[in-house]
Amino acid sequence: MRRAIAAGVVGLARILAGGSVRCLGCEFDSRQRIYFANHTSHLDFVLVWSALPRSLRALTRPVAAKDYWDRAGLRRYLVANVFNAVLVERVAQTLLSVPAQTGVPVPHRKDPIEILLEGLGERHSLIIFPEGTRGNGVQLGPFRSGLYRLGKARPDVELVPVYIDNLNRVLPKGEFVPVPMLASVSFGAPMRVEIGEEKDPFLERARSAILELRRW
Amino acid sequence: MVNFLHDRQTLWLFGGILGVLLVATVVGQLLKLRRSNAVIDNLNARIRAWWVMSAVFALSLLTGGIGSVILFALLSFFALREFITLTPTRPADHGALFWVFFVITPLQYWLVAIQWYGLFAVLIPVYAFLFIPSRIAVSGDPERFLERSAKIQWGLMVCVYCVSHAPALLMLRIPRFEGKNARLLLFLVVVVQMSDVLQYVWGKLLGRHKIAPVISPSKTWEGFLGGVATATLLGAALWWATPFSRAQAAAMAFIITIMGFLGGLTMSAIKRDSGVKDYGSMIEGHGGVLDRIDSLCFAGPIFFHLTRYFFT
């Protein structure tokens, strides 16, 4: 049943967004990876996940916005049973809260990086969107530090840049129903946080790796 | 609907297609043995895709009318998806696009299935054409308004309205031809696609003088004239499967061929304008669905209306 639904999801993704997958310097492999992609639509991770070979889909957990996906009904069922997604609060909502009595900021939620590292575990891969928020599909926004922190915490995990093209037109921001459009997913060459590499140069390097894929 | 396995003429047509495919496959493999290059690899990829396309088309005819309606509806859907992908729409067009894909397109083919000619003929050019700009205007984004409306309208016109005229042949009531309309559809598709193939073959063999090199570098006068002449002869030779006389079948085939050529040229002009070579990559060696049916888009409605006017 679960497999049939997963196949249905993949089929639907192909009908809505086409099945164009390009590997530019990356071979599919079951070793642990973090796929990081540009973010333009709530369907982004569905498309990246569908682009992977079936054997890798079972090992790859998308990271999804809790407020959008953790809702009763189909979405919750899909993230829990089909995608095995890791749900996180959106970064904007994990601000520190400042209780009026003390004036000292206290974090009132678990650090999302902890949740991601737990989700990664010993055998899974992750799909993340380092911009943190959906862009307009034209510009690639600045990256948040999460990718760098994950790369530092787990130097054994390969970081794979992914560029999603045209999916923002399938389901633009603020729309509920998708329309069909040919999108494509490009996988680039795996990278790592080099020894001694600082946060900003690394994030810039990661960002340009995605921009590089856009040129193809 | 007639069971086509008992219709001898249809079986002859299927047999003819099979024979052409076999000959093409043998020739393709012989060419490959002699010399291997990109053109010959592409030729063989195209021939492989022709086997698949012919099988799907033949199966859809064997199911009776409904299979053909569904097949052409899917072709329209995929072609429109390719067309809209190349069209620079804006987020405010989303609502209109939803209607185009999920309401108007299925509705058009439903009208073909229930054979409601009156609404079939006006649904898109009247109702949809007024609805689309209205729906975009309601979204409130005036930038490039006329361009966006017109491009969505044109996509719907070519990919859905025009293509739907092919299965609509099944609804024509032609005296002394009842229940045999599937052969008309077969005649149209065979002539229009063979005309493409023959223009390609003549062009590769003799092509020297390009017709519109900027728009379509592969279309030559030699290919065009050779293709039109041989496809017209082919159409005349298939007269026994149609309600037409020999001369009428030749005239119909001639018009189908000319319209097919103009369709290919027009859709190429749109591709050049968008800066792409093919509309998609769904059919190996051919490009996208729209690359394969561009000639049918233009030939279908004209063939439908000529047949309807003169023979029903």
**Min Cα separation B88/chain A (Å):** 10
Beta-carbon separation of B91 and A20 below 8 A: no
Q: Which residue has the higher pLDDT, A94 or A160?
A: A160
- pLDDT, one tens digit per residue, over B27-43 is 999 998 888 788 888 88
Stretch A97-103: mean pLDDT, rounded?
A: 62
User: Residues A175, B94: contact at Cβ < 8 Å?
Assistant: yes
Residue A99: per-residue pLDDT: 60
Stretch A191-198: mean pLDDT, rounded?
A: 91
Helix pair B8-34, B38-62: axis angle to 10 deg: 160
Q: Which residue has the higher pLDDT, B27 or B7?
A: B27
Tokens, residue A35: 């796929």
Torsion, Cα of B55, B57, B62, B65 (10° steps): 170
Find the closest chain A residue to B82 by CA distance: A182
**Min Cα separation B225/chain A (Å):** 36
Torsion sign, CA atoms B122, B123, B128, B130: positive
For residue A20, give the nearest of B77, B89, B281 by CB distance.
B281
Tokens, residue B167: 């299965």
Is B3 a residue whose pLDDT tops 60? Answer: no
Instruction: Among A46-60, B40-54, B271-285, name the one with the lowest average pLDDT.
Output: B271-285
Beta strands in chain A (DSSP E): 20-23, 33-37, 60-65, 86-88, 125-128, 158-165, 184-187
Q: Which residue has the higher pLDDT, B91 or A191?
A: A191
Q: If you count residue pairs, one on A and one on B, with CB atoms under 8 Å apart, how many are there? A: 33
Q: How far apart are CA B253 and CA B259, in angstroms?
A: 10
Interface test with B, best of A168, A181, A185 (most B CBs within 10 A): A181
Stretch B53-64: mean pLDDT, rounded?
A: 88
**Local confidence band at B279 (pLDDT 50, 70, 90 cut-offs):** confident
Q: Which residue has the higher pLDDT, A122 or A98?
A: A122
Is A192 a residue whose pLDDT tops 80? Answer: yes
Residue linked to tokens 């030939």: B299
Q: For residue B280, list chain A residues with Cβ-Cβ distance below 8 A.
A: 18, 182
Residue A107: per-residue pLDDT: 58
Cβ-proximal residues to B68 (8 Å cutoff; 6+ apart), any chain = B60, B61, B166, B167, B170, B182, B185
Residue A32: per-residue pLDDT: 94
Tell me the residue type at B243: P
For residue B91, give the nearest of A20, A166, A172 by CB distance.
A172
Residue B230: per-residue pLDDT: 96
Q: For residue A181, list chain B residues with Cβ-Cβ distance below 8 A.
A: 81, 84-85
**Local confidence band at A216 (pLDDT 50, 70, 90 cut-offs):** low
**Local confidence band at A134 (pLDDT 50, 70, 90 cut-offs):** confident
Q: Quick one: what percent of chain B has pLDDT higher than 90?
A: 71
Kindly state the DSSP code that residue A169 receives in the 8-state scheme. G
Find the closest chain A residue to B88 by CA distance: A169
Stretch A198-206: mean pLDDT, rounded?
A: 93
Beta-carbon separation of B280 and A179 below 8 A: no
Residue A101: per-residue pLDDT: 64
Is B18 a residue whose pLDDT tops 70? Answer: yes
Q: How far apart are CA A126 and CA A62, in angstroms?
A: 5
Q: For residue A182, list chain B residues with Cβ-Cβ distance below 8 A.
A: 81-82, 85, 280
Which secondary structure element, helix H or strand E, spans residue B95, and what is its range? helix B94-99
**Local confidence band at B156 (pLDDT 50, 70, 90 cut-offs):** very high
Beta-carbon separation of A177 and B91 below 8 A: no
Q: Is B97 on the interface with A (CB under 8 A)?
A: yes
Stretch B56-78: mean pLDDT, rounded?
A: 91
Residue B138: per-residue pLDDT: 95
Q: Which residue has the higher pLDDT, B266 or A175?
A: B266
In this structure, the number of other CB atoms found within 10 A of the CB of residue A114 comes to: 10
**Local confidence band at B1 (pLDDT 50, 70, 90 cut-offs):** very low
For residue B82, give the nearest of A172, A177, A182 by CB distance.
A182
**Min Cα separation A95/chain B (Å):** 31
Residue B218: per-residue pLDDT: 86
Is A105 a residue whose pLDDT tops 70? Answer: no
Q: For residue B82, list chain A residues with Cβ-Cβ distance below 8 A.
A: 182
Is A109 a residue whose pLDDT tops 70? Answer: no
Residue linked to tokens 């039109």: B228
Beta-carbon separation of B280 and A18 below 8 A: yes
Average model confidence (pLDDT) across chain A: 86
Residue A65: per-residue pLDDT: 84
Q: Is B93 on the interface with A (CB under 8 A)?
A: no
Which secondary structure element, helix H or strand E, spans residue B121, and what is its range? helix B117-122
User: Residues A54, A146: contact at Cβ < 8 Å?
Assistant: no
Residue A204: per-residue pLDDT: 93
Q: Is B85 on the interface with A (CB under 8 A)?
A: yes
Interface test with B, best of A21, A173, A182, A184 (most B CBs within 10 A): A182
Beta-carbon separation of B98 and A179 below 8 A: yes
Chain B residues 64-83 within an 8 A CB cutoff of chain A: 77, 80-82
Quote the pTM value.
0.87
Beta-carbon separation of A20 and B94 below 8 A: no
Is B118 a residue whose pLDDT tops 70? Answer: yes
Q: For residue A173, list chain B residues with Cβ-Cβ distance below 8 A.
A: 91
User: Residues A158, A150: contact at Cβ < 8 Å?
Assistant: no
- pLDDT, one tens digit per residue, over B122-152 is 999 999 999 999 999 999 899 999 999 999 9
Return the domain boundaries, chain B: 65-164
Residue A163: per-residue pLDDT: 94
Task: Find the angle CA(B188)-CA(B101)-CA(B302) to the nearest 5 degrees.
Answer: 25
Beta-carbon separation of B89 and A169 below 8 A: yes
